[in-house]
A and B are shown apart, each in its own frame.
Chain A
Amino acid sequence: MKGPIVVKHYFTGLIIVLLLARSSLVLALADGSLAEERKQRGYVLTDFRLVTPGAGPGDCPDGFNEGYSQRFLNALPEAERQSYLENPRRLQQALAPWYYDDPEQDPCASPGNFPDPGMLTIDGPLMLQRMEPDGSLSQRRSLPSACPVIGADLKERAIDNQYWRVMGCVRGYQPTGQAAAFANSFIADGSMTVLLQITPVTGEVDENDLVEVLLASSHTPVTLGTDGRPLPWASIPLAEEVRYHNRVRGTLRDGVLITDHFDLHIIKAAQRLDSELYLRDARLRLEIDSATGKASGLLAGYWDIGSLAHAAIRIQDRTGLSSGKPAADTHGYTCPGKYYAVKRLADGHPDPGTGECTSISVIHSLHAVPAFVIERKAP
């Protein structure tokens, strides 16, 4: 007789468990998609660009910077200037070489070898978006951040956007300029693919919103739809180089992801240019739209000056040459000018020996659509 009773109790218990499970699932879905947040999600970035809000009135009281050509012309007497205006080839020759075989002679490959010609930057009070230590965003009018003292904990500071102060008085970095136009083309043309994966951390019952975030490069171009935009739900493998697999923990609460600080390396290829973005103590803040599945947010961090100099001043070509000088002329700045301005406004990671800051705060905006992130397991 005992046997059937045990069986009966077993079934009763199972039914109760199933009912409870069903009701909790329903409750979870109805009260803020808790269950929805506990699944793994993959994304591919469709837009990734520097936050360059544009110079406001009074931000650049002395005007915009000038590139090599304009500086050269401005230094000439009027009569002589006219002869160059009528013969652009002569102007190009006067400013040659534009590409250098010897990096030591190249003001863009080795800007520190050259004197500072000066660069106009935004040095006054400025309304800037920043990321606070708790991961929230704020916007307030403030003076440039100072380089912190050695040993100061950067995690206790808001991450500013001092790089905009450097580039704010550059014509090509205004919202209608070259940098903004180029910003997103690198994803669409297949030069640069960045993947994001958010995985719930299980087994830590008190941390229901704890997630592991993977931000990684891929060598596979995005798949474009007929509208020219990256298609969602493409299957895209990670780059094989582990260097470009950046993992960090964070929280996903009410559709908002905020990561801890992490160092980031991603491939930042652009057409024939080839470089890497190296941010230190970066944080990602992402808002996920449950209706569309899309995500958007900000990546704030400190751009290592060595990496910045390579990627954004030298501008390494895939042929090994520096495209820095023509790029600087196009945007309207000089390479040594930019280099010294970056050093002057650097606000992160003071060198223990010199006390000089070795990184500068920067904020990127990003948008993403769902994707299947394919991790290749080692054989």
Chain B
Amino acid sequence: MSRKSLSRRTLLRGVLQGSAVSVALPLLDGFLNSNGTALASEAPLPLRFGTWFWGCGMTPERWNPQREGSHFELPAELQALSAHRDQFNVLSGFNVHLDGRPNQVHSSGVVGTLTGNAPSVPDEFASPSLDVLVADAIGSGNRFRSLEAAASGDPRHSYSRRSSSVINAAEVSPVGLYQRIFGAGFQDPNARDFQPDPKLMMRRSVLSAVKEDRQRLERQLSAADRVRLDQYFTAVRQAEQQLNIMLSEPQPLASCQVPGMPEVSDTDTDIEVVDRNHRQLAGLMALAVACDQTRVFNMVYSPGASNLRRAGSTANHHQLTHEESVDPALGYQPRATWFVERSMAAFATYLDILKAIPEGDGSLLDNCLLLAHSETSLAKTHDVSGLPLILVGRAGGRVRTGLHVKGRGDAVTRVGLTVQQLMGLPVSRWGTRSMQTDRPVSEVLA
């Protein structure tokens, strides 16, 4: 049955007490094209990119599927994701090539994956992380260029970085994340009573007013100071842009449901507490995406060298990876692998939450691309070969899912290049030294 398309600008018009009034509508199916993949105006549903990180990797024999292609069985450590089997791709056998640089333990893997460069010192981000590159391309029109959260309870647990020293710190408490997204400055896209905030208008005016003075100052500075000032004003320009967005009337969005304020919760390294916070942070993050507050979102479940622990045990996940002996009968470390399985269960919850939000003729997840990754494969040896990578979501139909792709020792930059190209970045080559590549993972391209 064909459906009559409506403009997204459709308003309910009427006359009230002699004055013309109009009421905006939420995002209805009629606003979408007949495939539910784009707005009726043919503007596509927005693309989003997210990362989900957990620390201390996996056990290769219990993680990597045997068969390539679509007919693979989920190994033990991926079993928790079975309900989402058709929504993701497992990428195995992709390496960070160190090129003679030291393996900066618990750092080289994640930095290499996100920047395409093996660091020479720990946490050296010689170039922006993948999510920042994507955010610069698709996130500048939103209130938040990107959002970061860490269930592990430490704001420093964020791998979203513009450089080694410029870190997008993570929100760690659900209340904090709620206030940031849905607190002051939030404009409900479905509430048709938009009023620009006078305070924001004043702030924007102040920034505009100093523009000329800034140009005068720049002429008087040394080159080094001009660089510093430029970095500062880049941030200012982003703030200006953000204010512009906040002073514009948002588009109605059917999938946007404003949540209630979460309860105050503790932060801790106890995995049960982390899990609880993760569930709440995930819910808020998903709604932030659905309400188009951001198009780039990063979640850390546990940091590199994972500090997660079970109540009553002093040995955390990281310690266990090194101290626990391999059980000769099982062939793996049972206490350490328990944390991997729990991490994947948490990731499955994250996917449940994204999938539960309808959008178009699918779910929010369908219009996302999500990269789940860790800093090692086998943490016991800090191995940065065969890193665990899961690519989830169809990115609005751009991605084939349900596949296992073997990288066979190729650089992990193939994955980063693929992400960038899927997100529309005009990049044909990515990575440094032997990790430079011009080969995306074509198997997953629709």
Interface residues of A (CB under 8 A from B): 69, 73, 84-86, 88-89, 91, 171-172, 174, 176-178, 181-182, 185, 188-191, 219-221, 224-228, 269, 271-272, 274, 318, 330, 332
Contact = CB atoms under 8 A, between A and B. Distances in A.
Contacts of A176: 325-328
Interface in B48-103: 93, 95, 98-100, 102-103
B99 A221 contact: yes
Contact of A330 (B105, B312, B323, B328): B323
Interface string B100-116: 10111100000000000
A251 B323 CA distance: 43
Contacts of A182: 380-381
Given A84-B314, A227-B409, A330-B322, 11 more contacts: A85-B313, A88-B314, A176-B328, A178-B323, A181-B381, A189-B382, A221-B100, A226-B409, A228-B95, A228-B409, A330-B323
Contacts of A220: 100
A120 B233 CA distance: 63
A154 B299 CA distance: 61
B408 interface: yes
B386 A272 contact: no
18 contacts: A85-B314, A86-B312, A88-B309, A172-B323, A176-B326, A177-B326, A181-B326, A182-B380, A185-B383, A188-B385, A221-B98, A221-B99, A224-B95, A225-B409, A226-B408, A226-B409, A272-B104, A318-B102
Best-surrounded residue of B100, B312, B378 (most CB of chain A within 10 A): B100
Contacts of A271: 102-105, 382
Contacts of B104: 271-272
B37 interface: no
Q: Is the interface on chain B under 10, 10 to 19, 20 to 34, or 35 or more residues?
A: 35 or more
B318 to A, nearest CB: 10
A191 B99 CA distance: 9
A228 B322 contact: no
Contacts of B409: 224-228
Nearest to B319: A330
Contacts of A88: 269, 309, 313-316
Given A178-B323, A226-B408, A219 B100 contact: yes
A47 to B, nearest CB: 14
A178 B380 contact: yes
A274 B93 CA distance: 27
B133 interface: no
Nearest to B315: A88
B235 interface: no
B384 interface: yes
A224 B325 contact: no
Q: Which 7 A-B pairs give the minimum distances between C-beta atoms?
A: A226-B408, A176-B326, A271-B103, A185-B381, A176-B325, A88-B314, A181-B380
Interface string B311-345: 11111100100110111100000000000000000
A272 B105 contact: yes
Contacts of A219: 100
Contacts of A272: 102-105, 122
B384 to A, nearest CB: 7
Contact of A190 (B99, B315, B316, B328): B99
Contact of B98 (A89, A174, A178, A190): A190
A267 B316 CA distance: 33
Contacts of B99: 190, 221
What does DSSP make chain A's interface, helix, strand, loop or mixed?
loop
A11 B269 CA distance: 89
A225 B322 CA distance: 27
A191 B323 CA distance: 22
Contacts of A185: 381-383
Contact of B325 (A73, A89, A171): A171
Interface string B376-400: 0010111111100000000000000
Interface string B272-302: 0000000000000000000000000000000
A54 B314 CA distance: 26
A93 to B, nearest CB: 12
Contact of B386 (A174, A228, A274): A228
Contacts of A274: 102
B139 to A, nearest CB: 34
B311 A178 contact: no
Contacts of B103: 189-191, 271-272
Contacts of B100: 190, 219-221
Nearest to B314: A88
B371 to A, nearest CB: 22
Contacts of B384: 189
B98 A189 contact: yes
Contacts of B385: 188-189, 224, 228
B330 to A, nearest CB: 10
Given A176-B328, A177-B325, A69 B314 contact: yes
A171 B384 CA distance: 25
Nearest to A269: B102
B375 to A, nearest CB: 13
A85 B312 CA distance: 6
Interface string B356-384: 00000000000000000000001011111
Contacts of B315: 88
B312 A178 contact: no
Contacts of B326: 176-177, 181
Nearest to B309: A88
Contacts of B122: 272
B385 to A, nearest CB: 6
A69 to B, nearest CB: 7
Best-surrounded residue of B99, B314, B325, B326 (most CB of chain A within 10 A): B314
Contacts of A174: 325
Best-surrounded residue of A85, A172, A190, A269 (most CB of chain B within 10 A): A190
A149 B160 CA distance: 63
A321 B263 CA distance: 44
Contacts of A85: 312-314
Contacts of B408: 226
Nearest to B377: A228
Contacts of A91: 314
B332 to A, nearest CB: 10
Nearest to B327: A176
Contact of A332 (B102, B269, B323, B383): B323
Contacts of A181: 326, 378, 380-381
Interface in B211-225: none
Contacts of B269: 88-89
Nearest to A272: B102
Contacts of A318: 102
Nearest to A330: B322
Contacts of A89: 269
A271 B100 CA distance: 10
A164 to B, nearest CB: 17
Nearest to A180: B326
A35 B206 CA distance: 87
A83 to B, nearest CB: 11
A177 B385 CA distance: 20
